[in-house]
Every structure is written in C-alpha cells, then in structure tokens.
Structure 1
C-alpha cells in the first residue's frame, strides 16, 4: 500500500492518512520536509518510498550518498543471563564465535525450516543483543519462544530508531560527524558513540550493497535533530535525502522479505547454505527440518534473470510466471530496470531442475510493463548482477 501525493509544496505530515494504528518514526516529519511524496507500510510503520525519480535516487546512492529513514527496522532486544543461548536457539547460523561489537546477517527459521525473517544481529554486550528486523513480527515470535524456553531472558522492543547513510561518500560524512576514528570501524561491526549528547550505536551495515552505515538513535525525542544534523554536515559531500533503492538491492541480489522469501521459503532454495550450520552442538528451531531438506535437496532454487524488452517502468507489483516450453516452472519475485547495466534484471524462484545458467525461459508479465503481448524472453544468469563479492560495501 502506497499513498502518493501530487502537491508536495502544500504537504503536511498530517496529510498521510493510513491511520493512528500505523506508527511514524522519529524522522517522519523531517522526511516530509525534505521531499518525501509517498510512503508504504513496513513493520506496522510508515517508510518513505518516494523522493521523486527512483532512477535519480539510485544515482545519488551509487555516486554520492543518501540518508534514509529506516526506523521501521524495529529492534528485538534480548537481555539476561541466557541471552546468548536463547539467541542461538532462534537462528540456524552459528553464533559461538560472535564477539561483542560484531554484527551478523542471520536467518530465523520455524520448525519446518521456513524463513520467518532475515535480520541483522548486533551484539552490543555480553548478554545484550538486538535483532534488527525485516518486515515480520519477530518480537511476538521471540516473546512466545521465551515463554516456553525455560531460560532467563527478557524480550522487549527498545527505544531505537535507525537511519541508513549509504553511498561512496558516506564515509566522508561520518568522518565529518564523528572524527577520523570512525574510519576504523570494520564491515559488520558496531560502535557506541554520542553526537551532541545523542546516544547512538553506529554499524558498518546497510541494505544497499554500497559503502554504508546505520545510525541507531536511542532517544526518539531527538530524531528531527539528528536528521537535520546529518543533512547539514553532508551537504558539502552531495548528501541527498532518499529511500532504499530497489534497483541497487536487486543488482546486489539482496532479499526483500515477503517478496523474495517468506515462511514457505527455506535457506537452501535461496543458496544461503553458508548461514546454516547443522553440525554445531547447539540446537535451534528448524534444525531437523533443515537437515532433511539438505539431504533430499531443495525442490526450488532462486536464480537471476535478464529479461528482454523495453525498460521496465518501475519494479514489479505482482509475481510474474516463468515458463519453459509452455509449462510454468516458477515465478519472478523482484524485477527492475538497471540504468547502469542497461538491462531488465530479476530474481526468480524456479523448479530446481530448471535452475541452469544460460537456460532460456519466458516471463509472463500480467502488468504489461515489458511488452504489449505480456510475454518476454529471458535467460537465467548468475546473481548478484553487480559486484558479486561485495567489494564495494566491504572496502
């Protein structure tokens, strides 16, 4: 659900009318002032989705830097003497060597091995973790698991609201904000800092496949102040307000939960075997199911597609069937035109026996964005489509 507004000059924050049951981040009014024209709903909150031309937003990201309100990335905080043991129970990734100050991309699976979320895990202290969520109600899942786990843990949603500062010049902006020492922060590590008395956790993470940082504000009353401070400091570096880029994340093969994965999708279908450790001593939810899936092999696999035809007019808003010799073999989950690659690129889930690089397939596009007949030729390719080893983000 997206609400687009036509008269941005007269826009007031009250004009967005999803209702009081949809929460606003501490940066909401600032994003409206800075040109947000449309929002959608993510984790029961508003998230900016429109600052004008999405292609220009992409170029702002890959050439300079953008600041994004991602307060919708709600945190599940796990504390207590059994915090580490409980957190390990929630994920199939081995956390035994995770240090204080480290971040990890993890998968949260259910008893059938299906994915409930693919968040970033932050270890702030020995017995304090944050799960920085994609779009699903893991707070409720964790509370339910804690009730029956018999462990000494406390589960809550803390006063934490992240911003994403992403792009090649994001490091320069961070240095101007925090000094030269911030440049020592390694990829997927975090640091506790203050900015004009505002308590922050800063991490070298982000949903862009570019160099980037996330700034986790721990005082929602100062959200407007933090936004304006960053924008002012970033102006000499070309910093622009922006939104998470579908173009860049699909180029980078990054998942969007509910689009590319859900509770009926398992890690092996997505090629995320590296995040599943069946040999670790610790037990976790879904371990037996994932062992069985590995032994039998997944019935589907995610692939990359390059789709022929005119440039797509924005991302797909429905799943498109993928056919081989007239038979449906899967679906396109995320598709977009990449102006950098000058190609229509997509992530798709297809039957495992058809997941062959170089194979030619047909995409049936019901929304008519590719060609008038609604069918386009496509070829299965490697993913990610750009910077496959994530050298840009990790540099």
Structure 2
C-alpha cells in the first residue's frame, strides 16, 4: 500500500528544509500539523521530516541503510500519524463505503482490514488506503497522501445516503520487523500474537485506548498501533520503546529500500489520479462482476475491455549503487525513443542491485526486455524483471 512518503525533501524539526533548500530559508508555517509522537521522535533521533497529508513525518534517523537493516533484522517503531483516518458511520455506512472503492466489500467482516483502491469517475486512483471495519456501520479509511476526507464528503452530498464523515482523534504507529510480534506480546500480552494478517483488535494499555492491526508498509511482519487519545502519544511511544529494547527495537522511518523490494506503491510517486488499477497490475482489486455500485465502474469496465497502453514493471538498473532514492521521474528509453518513466528507484544492499518501479509502454513490458534509463549520472542500461524483487509470496509479512 502507498501510504508514507519516500522523498528526500526533508525538513528540520523547526520546519526548515534541509539540503539544497536550506540556504534559501524556505520554511513551513504553523499550518503543518505535528503528530502526537513528534516530540518523542525528535528525542529519539529524528533529524529530518517531510510533509504528508499536511503533517510532518520523520524521514531521517541517520543512515537509511542502517534503518533498513534494523527493520529486516529486528524491529523499528515509526511515527505514521500522517495516516489520517476518515471515519464513516451511520445507517448507510457500509453502502457508502462500497461506493468509494472498486473492491467488493460484501464479505468484509467486522475486525477485518482490506487494502482497497479509491477511484474517480475516470477510473483513476484517488488513494490506495487500508480500510478497517470496526463495526457493522463504522469504517476507518487509513489514508495515503491525498485529501480523501474531502472527496468522501463531496460524494456524500450527492449520495442521498445517511452517513457521517469525519476525522477522529486517531494516530497510528508502525511496529515492523521480524521481532515485532515479540514486542507486541511483551506490550499487550501473548494473545495479541494470535492476531491474523489484515485483522484488527481494540485493546487498552493501562487506560490508553488503542486499535491494533496486523498491517504495515514494510512487507515484513508487523503491526499498526492506532492511538485513540492524542494527549497520550508521548507516553505510548516511550512505553513501546522501553518494552522493545530487549528485542532490538529501534526508532526509525518507513524504509524506501524495503518497500521498493516489496513493490509497494507510494501514492503520488508511483500512482495518481491519472493512473488506473490495470496499469498497476492491481486487477485483483477491481470487482466489476460482483454487483457492487462504485464510482468509476463504467470507466474501469471500458479500460478492462479495451486494454491499457502502459503498465508498471520492475527494473534492474546497471549502474554504480544509487546514493539515494530518486526525487524526479527518470525517462526510460528503448532504441532512442522514450517509452515511459522510472517512478521509484533505490539501491538494495541485500540484493546488491539498483532496483526500480517504472511505468512503460506495454510493448516494453516483457521480462528480460532491455531498456535505458536516463539517470542524473547519465544513461544506464536496465532490464525488466518480475515483481516483487524480494519475497514474492509475502511469507515474511504473513508469518
């Protein structure tokens, strides 16, 4: 799922951009919100932030390769309070939530989560959130970086359905990595270890109200811990870090390296309103024959029947190890003609390769196709490979 930012456009805790922007004195004003965990992340080493959903998100705890190793070898705790929740309640909440997404929700149970796509009338992606069902007529949309709450309210005005839409006092943390179950059990008791993949549970930690789900943006075993009282963010962060120390828990940020290895989308980087599910290989999330009524159904049926002209692929780029993720889209060429663009690229130390997600013409998508990428350092040969780059069966996340 594409829910946290990847860019290098980080800022200091005081809101001053770092790197190339710093000499210009460009700053962010008080309209940029801070999560309930902001002060704790600064104490624990966060030095750079990006802006996502009109909020700061920590993007720098030091060496990103070490952050990756902390994730895949032990566990990290990430402030993802930027994943704002759009809460939908009311007598028609289930019907209305189905109206927003092309995925069939008719068999979604209370206590279940689903990765869904929210589409516009043209079939383009508005968002690719995780949907949580807390009650028969109560849903949370855990959003990527777009104003889904405003979209939902606009749809509701003309839906003639009886629903209420708002943003509750809910801020999530991500606890991710192979030792995350050990940390969760030490924090909340052994019964939390039985929580199934993409399932949720409402719990309380010494009076702190939480929702815990077996979800995350890492392709590793992990949990999201949704704080339901913003006044207790500092306390919750410190409790988790203290309990997690024996298991090697470290503060961190969502790993660009790991999410590209897992071919997880980053909304606005890899997809936007001009990108449809079929171009992204997400056909499995489009249920056109289930009888569900949703925005974009006619357009998606047409796209399915006519076919697409471009698709997402994985690339291995033959070049010196990239110093960091790309901050612009890199043209992809074949025989001198531009056939697409790299949307996300990074060097994977585990695979010892430069790996990338790209959108290219369908005639350049066959596995083994040789292409050329216009990197900032010059043209580099690239090869189309299967996705994801690592753990294709998701055995780590579902363990």
Give the TM-score category using the shorter length: over 0.9
CA RMSD of aligned residues (A): 0.9
Does the residue aligned with 1:214 lie in a helix, a strand or coil?
strand
Q: Which residue of 1 aligns with 2:336?
A: 326
Shift of 1:19: 1.3
Does the residue aligned with 2:272 lie in a helix, a strand or coil?
coil
Q: Which residue of 1 aligns with 2:221?
A: 211
Question: Is this contact kept in 1: 2:130–2:142, CA < 8 A?
Answer: yes
Shift of 1:2: 3.0
Question: Is this contact kept in 1: 2:40–2:237, CA < 8 A?
Answer: yes
Give the 5 Å matches for 1:1-395. Answer: 2-5=9-12, 13-14=13-14, 17-365=27-375, 367-368=376-377, 374-395=378-399
Shift of 1:309: 1.1
TM-score in terms of structure 2 length: 0.95
Does the residue aligned with 1:376 lie in a helix, a strand or coil?
strand
Q: Which residue of 2 aligns with 1:8?
A: none
Shift of 1:143: 0.4
| Ranges in structure 2 where 5+ consecutive residues have no aligned partner | 1-7, 17-26
Does the residue aligned with 2:396 lie in a helix, a strand or coil?
helix
In 2, the alpha carbon distance for the partners of 1:248 and 1:320 equals 20
In 2, the alpha carbon distance for the partners of 1:233 and 1:392 equals 23
Shift of 1:14: 4.4
In 2, the alpha carbon distance for the partners of 1:2 and 1:347 equals 20
TM-score in terms of structure 1 length: 0.96
The superposition leaves residues 176-209 of structure 1 with CA deviations (integer Å, 9 ceiling, x where unpaired) of 0111101110000000000110000000000000
The superposition leaves residues 1-28 of structure 1 with CA deviations (integer Å, 9 ceiling, x where unpaired) of 73455xxxxxxx5465521010000000
Does the residue aligned with 2:390 lie in a helix, a strand or coil?
coil
The superposition leaves residues 147-171 of structure 1 with CA deviations (integer Å, 9 ceiling, x where unpaired) of 1100000000000000000000000
Question: Is this contact kept in 1: 2:15–2:28, CA < 8 A?
Answer: no
Shift of 1:218: 0.4
Question: Is this contact kept in 1: 2:11–2:50, CA < 8 A?
Answer: no
In 1, the alpha carbon distance for the partners of 2:254 and 2:176 equals 9
The superposition leaves residues 60-101 of structure 1 with CA deviations (integer Å, 9 ceiling, x where unpaired) of 000000000000000000000100000000000000000000
Does the residue aligned with 1:392 lie in a helix, a strand or coil?
coil
Q: Give the length in aligned residue pairs.
A: 382
| Ranges in structure 1 where 5+ consecutive residues have no aligned partner | 6-12, 369-373
Q: Which residue of 2 aligns with 1:9?
A: none
Which range moved further: 127-136 or 278-287? 278-287
Shift of 1:226: 0.2
In 2, the alpha carbon distance for the partners of 1:283 and 1:122 equals 20
Which range moved further: 16-25 or 340-349? 16-25
Distance change in 2, residues 1:15/1:347 (3 Å): closer
